[in-house]
Structure 1
Amino acid sequence: MPSGLIALLDDVATIAKLAASSVDDIGAAVGKAGSKAAGVVIDDTAVTPRYVTGLTPDRELPIIGKIAVGSLKNKLLVILPVALILSAIAPWAITPILMLGGCYLCFEGAEKLWEKLAGEHEDEAALMECDDPGELEARQVAGAIRTDFILSAEIMVIALSTLDAQGFWLRAFALALVGVVITVAVYGAVGLIVKLDDIGLHMVKRGGSAGRSVGRLMVAGVPKLLSALSGIGTAAMLWVGGQIILHGLEVLHVAEALPHLVHDAAHRGAELIGFWVPVWQWLLTALGGAIVGIVIGAIIVAVLHVLPRRKTVATEGAH
C-alpha cells in the first residue's frame, strides 16, 4: 500500500504459489500483510494512550483491556467479513474505501492541529468536567473504540490488498491472524507505555541505587513521552492518510502527477543529501504525504468546522 511507507517482506507472486494448506503460507501471508499495515499500526499505538487521561492508575490496564477487546470485535466481527465480501464481489471498491479512510485520518490530524492553534479542546474539556468515574471511563472506551474502528479498517484493508492472490480461506485465516497479532502488539505496547511511571515508582521504592536512578528518570520522563506520542500520533495520521490518498490516486489513474511529484521530489532530495539515501527518501516521502494530508485535512476541517462557525457568528451579528 502506501509507497515508501515500509518495505514489503516478499513478493505477492511468491505467496500466491504456496499451497493454501501449508503453515508456511499462513506465516508468509501474515508477515507480508502486517508489514504493509505498519504505518497505521504506528498511528494506532501513538494515538491510544491519550484515552487513559484523567483515569486512576488502577483503572488504566482494565480500560486498555476493554479497548483491546473492542478492537478485536471491530476487526473480526465487522471489518473482516465485510472486507472479504467486498474483495469477492466488488474488489474495485477497496481502493476508494481506503481513500475515504485516509481522508478521515487527514481530518483527525488536521483537526488536532487546528485545536492547538485555536486553543480549543472541546472534547478534553467535556471529559474533565465529568465527575462520575464510571461515565468518564465509558466515554473514554467508546471514543477509543470509535477511533480504533477507522484505524482497524485501514489496517485490515491494507493487509487484504496484499492477499488478493490467495484462496478465500487462506485470506480469511491470514487476515484474522493479522487482526489478532496487531491488536495484541498495539495494546500490549500501549499497556507498557501507560504503566512506565508505576514501574519507575516501584524501582524508586524497592530498587538499588542504580534502580532508583533509573526509576526517577522513568517517572520524570513518562509525561514527556506521552506528550511526544500525542504529537507522533497526529503526524502519523497526516502522513499515513496522505500516503493512502496518494497511492489511491495512482491506482485509480486519477491526478497521477501528484503522487509522481512526491516520489520524484523525495528521490531527488535524498540524492542531493548524498548519505543514508534510503532513510532520507523514506522521510521525505513521509513528509510529502503529511503535506498532502494537511491540505486535505484542512479543507475538511474548514468545511465542517470553520465555515459553519463563521456563518453562525455572522448571522448572530446581523441580529
Structure 2
Amino acid sequence: MAAGSLLALLDDIATVLDDVALMSKTAIKGSAATFDDVAVLGKTAMKKTSGVLGDDLALNAQQVTGVNPDRELPVVWAVAKGSLLNKVILVPAALLISYFIPWLILPLLMLGGAFLSFEGAEKVIHTFFHKGETKPAKQGVPIDERAKISGAIRTDFILSAEIIVIALGVVSSEPILTQVIILSVIALLITIFVYGLVAGIVKLDDLGLYLLRQQSNMAKTIGRGILWLAPYLMKLLSIVGTIAMFLVGGSIILHGIPGAEHWFESILPGHGAGLLDAVLTLIAHFVVGLVVGLVIVAVMSLFHKKEQEA
C-alpha cells in the first residue's frame, strides 16, 4: 500500500541522520565522508520502507479503536513498548540471519505475510459473521484490551521485520557497524514516529473538546469539525488497516514465489509502469492476501473441528 503522503514527513525524520553526521564530523575529524555516507544510506533506507510504514500506521491506529477513552494512551504505550522489544529482537536477528543464513529471510517473510493475511481474513469473518459476540472479562481487565494489545504487537512484529529487511537490503554491502547503526536508528525513529502519530490520532476527540471550550469562534468551529470527523476517521482506519493486512501479506507472498512477480508484470498493460499498472498490482496483492488468508482460516477451522470431534 503506497504511502506517498508520508514521504515528506519521512524525509524530515531522516534528516536526523544528517544531524548525526554533522555532529560526528565535529567530534571525529577525518571521518566526515564515512558519516555522510551513513546519512545518505539512512535516508535511502527510510524512503524505501515508507510503503510498509504507511500500512504500519494504519494497522496500529485501527488496532486501538474501540478501547475505553481513558485507556487509549496506556494501550498505545503498551503496544509501543512491545514494538520496541520486537525491534530489539529483530535487528540483531536480521543481521545474524543475513550473515549466516541469508536464504532463510525470504521464507520467514512469507510466513509473516501468510500470518498477516490470516489475521485480516479473521477480522473480515468476525465482522460479517460474528459481530456482537463478546468474551468474558478476565482478572478485571477487559479481554478486548488484552486482545488488541497482543494482536497489535504480533502485527507490528511482522511489519517491523519487513521494514528491517527492506532497510537491510539497502545497506547489506556496507560494513557491519554501518548496518547496525542505520538499522538501529531507523527502528527507533520509526517506532517514535508511528506510535506518536497513533497517540495523536486516538486523542483527536480530546483535542476537539479542548478547542470547543475556547473563547475563539474559530477554535470552536475547528473543535466541532474534529469531533464530527474523529469517529469516521477511526472507522476508516479500521477498514484501511484490514485492507493493509491483505496488501502487505499478498505483496510478500507474491514476491516470495519464484517468477510470480515477473510473470505478473509481463501481463500488465504497461509491464509494471504507470498508474493503471500500480492500481492493478495493488488489486493483485489484495486478492492474493485475501485468498491465502481465507484458505488458512478454512484449514484452521477444519483442524479445530476435527480436534473437537476427537
| TM-score category, normalised to shorter length | 0.7 to 0.9
Counterpart residue number, 1:308? 303
1:244 equivalenced with 2:252 (yes/no): yes
Q: Distance in 1 between matches of 2:226 and 2:267?
A: 40
CA distance in structure 2 between the aligned counterparts of 1:266 and 1:288, rounded to whole angstroms? 11
Aligned to 1:104, what secondary structure does the other structure show? helix
Q: Alpha-carbon deviation of 1:229?
A: 0.6
Number of residues of Structure 1 aligned to a counterpart in Structure 2: 286
Q: Which residue of 1 aligns with 2:97?
A: 86
Residue pair 1:20, 1:167 contacting (<8 A) in 2 also: no
Pairwise CA distance, 1:101: 1.1
Partner of 2:135: 126
Q: Which residue of 2 aligns with 1:16?
A: none
Q: Is the contact made by 1:20 and 1:166 (CA closer than 8 Å) also made in structure 2?
A: no
1:36 aligns with 2:48: yes
Normalising by structure 1, what TM-score? 0.79
In the aligned structure 1, how far is the partner of 2:143 from the partner of 2:126?
24
SS of residue matched to 2:171: coil
Encode CA deviations 1:125-179: one digit per residue, 9 max, x unaligned. 237x458248765554334323322222222122212221111111111011110
Alignment partner of 1:233 is 2:241: yes
2:264 aligned residue:
262
Q: Which amino acid is 2:56 matched to?
A: D
1:50 positional shift: 3.8
Pairs within 5 Å for 1:1-319: 22-76=34-88, 78-120=89-131, 125-126=134-135, 129=137, 132-133=140-141, 140-249=148-257, 254=258, 256=259, 258-268=260-270, 278-305=274-301, 307-308=302-303, 311=306, 315=309
Aligned residues: CA RMSD: 3.0
What per-residue deviation string (whole Å, max 9, x for no partner) do you get for residues 205-232 of structure 1?
A: 1152222122112112111111111111
Cα offsets for 1:243-281 (capped at 9, x unmatched): 1122222xxxx3x2x3234324444499xxxxxx73333
Gaps in structure 1 of 5+ consecutive residues: 10-18, 271-276
Q: Distance in 1 between matches of 2:242 and 2:84?
A: 23
Q: Does the CA-based 8 Å contact 2:205-2:230 persist in structure 1?
A: yes
Contact 1:115 1:121 in 2 (8 A): no
- Distance, in Å, in 2 between the alignment partners of 1:20 and 1:163 is 18
Matched AA of 1:263: E
Higher mean C-alpha displacement, 96-105 vs 139-148: 139-148
Q: 1:64 to 1:265 in 2, by over 3 A?
A: same
Q: 5+ unaligned residues in a row in structure 2: which ranges?
A: 12-30
**Structure 1 146/214 Cα, relative in aligned 2: closer, same or farther at 3 Å?**
same
